[in-house]
Amino acid sequence: MAKAKGTIGILTGGGDVPGLNPAIRAVTVRALREGYRVLGIRRGWAGLVDLVPDAHADNSSCVQELTEEIVNRAGRTGGTFLHTSRTRPSHLPDTNVPPHLLDRYSDQINDVTPEVLKNIDFLGLDFLIPIGGDDTLSYGKRLHEEGVKVVAIPKTMDNDVPGTDYCIGFSTCVTRTIELTHRLRTSAGSHERFLVLEVFGRYAGFSAILPAMAGAADRCVIPEHPFSMEHLCDLLSHDRRKHPSNYSVVLISEGATMTHHDDMLYESKETDQYGHMKLGGIGDQVATQLKALSPRFNGGRRVNVLSQRLGYLVRCGDPDAMDSIVPMAFGNLAFDLVLSNTSGRLISLHNGCYDTVPIDVVTGHKKVVDVDKYYNTERLRPKYESFHRQPTFIMTSDV
C-alpha cells in the first residue's frame, strides 16, 4: 500500500445544519483520490481535547478514519455524522476536563490548547479543516496562530460568519421557514389570529428578513433594530384587516429586543463555553403582549395569537439543493488550498463567486443586516428598492 501524501483532519462544531455531511464528503472523496488520508474528528473540538495520545488507547469516540463508503452513505443526509459540540478548548470548564488531564488542569476555566496541539501532532495532521460558525472558527484562528495549517469552512443557520455572503445551512433554513410559515397560515386563517413565529438569529436578522422578503410574512423584527410593541400591533392589525382570511404574520428573530426592554430573552442564565446564554421566549412574549394590546387597534375587540418557535424544525432533516451544491464546492475549494499548501484561509462566497479570505476575518467584526440598506424601520419589513446586480441571497457581507 502506497504511503499517504498527507493526513487531513475534518471536524464540525456548534449547531448542526443540513449540508455538513456533503461538505465532509466533498473533502474526503477528493482527498482520498489524490492519495491523502482523512480523519474525522468527532464531537467538534471535544475530540481533540478528549483524545489520549497513546497508540494503545481506545480513541474511537474521538476520531475515525474516513472512507468513500462512509462519506457517500452520509453525504445525502442532514446533520453531521461526526457529531458536534460547543467545546472551546481555550475556555474549558473544570467539569469538561477529561480524566487523564485532571492533574494538569484544575482551574475553574482552563486553556488546554497545549494538549490540543499535542494531539494534532499525535494524529499526524498536516491540515485541519474545521466547519462551523464564528465561535468554532475563532478557535480555528487560534490554532492557525499556533502554527497549525487550518482551512475553515463557514456554516450557520444565521448566515452571520463575516467574510462570506453564504454559510452552509442558511438556504435550508430559509426554505423550511417559508414552508412552515405557509403551512401554519391555515390555522392562523381558520381562527383569524395573529401568527407569531420565532426564528433563529442571535445578532443578525438574515433568517427572518429573507423569508419575509420572499413573502412568508407580512412583517419581521430583527436584532439590529429594537421595535415598539404598539407599532408592531398597529401594523399587524392593519395587515389582518386587509387579508381576506382576517389574519397576519410576523417573523421574530430570537435575538430581537423591544424598545422598552434592551436585553434579549434567555431560557436560563447558564452560558456555553463561548459565553452565550440560550435564547428563547421573545416569540411567546410578543404573542402575549399582542393579545393584550390588540383591542386598542381593533375597535375594542381582542385578537388571539398563534405562537410557534420554529427552532430545530428548520435545522433538522436533509439539505435542500443549495445546501447540497455549496458544501460540495466549499469542500473542493478547501482541498485546493491543501494541494497548494495554503492555510489560514476561510472559504467564502462573495457576489455569486467562490473565493477565500484570511481566517482573521471571523473575529474582526460582527456580520449583521445593513438596516439602512435592507430594512424599512417604519414598516418593519424588508426594503424592495433595487435588486440590480445583487447576489442570490441579496444581503451581502462587506468583503
Helices 170-191 and 322-339 cross at an angle (nearest 10°) of 160
What's the chain's length in residues?
399
DSSP bridge pairs for 151 = 345
* Catalytic machinery residues: 158
Q: What are phi and psi of 196, to 5 degrees?
A: -110, 120
Q: What are phi and psi of 211, to 5 degrees?
A: -60, -35
Question: Would residue 252 be called left, alpha or beta, if left means φ above 0 and alpha means ψ between -120 and 50 degrees?
Answer: beta
- Spell out the residues 6+ positions from residue 224 whose beta carbon is closer than 8 angstroms to its own: 204, 205, 368, 369, 371, 375
DSSP bridge pairs for 40 = 10, 64
104 SS3 class = coil
Give the separation between CA 84 and CA 105, rounded to whole angstroms: 23
Contact present, 218 and 270 (Cβ < 8 Å): no
Helix, strand counts (H, E) of the chain: 11, 17
- Long-range (24+ apart) CB contacts under 8 A made by 264-269 are 264/202, 264/223
Of 332, 22, 322, 348, give the one whose Cα is nearest residue 154: 348
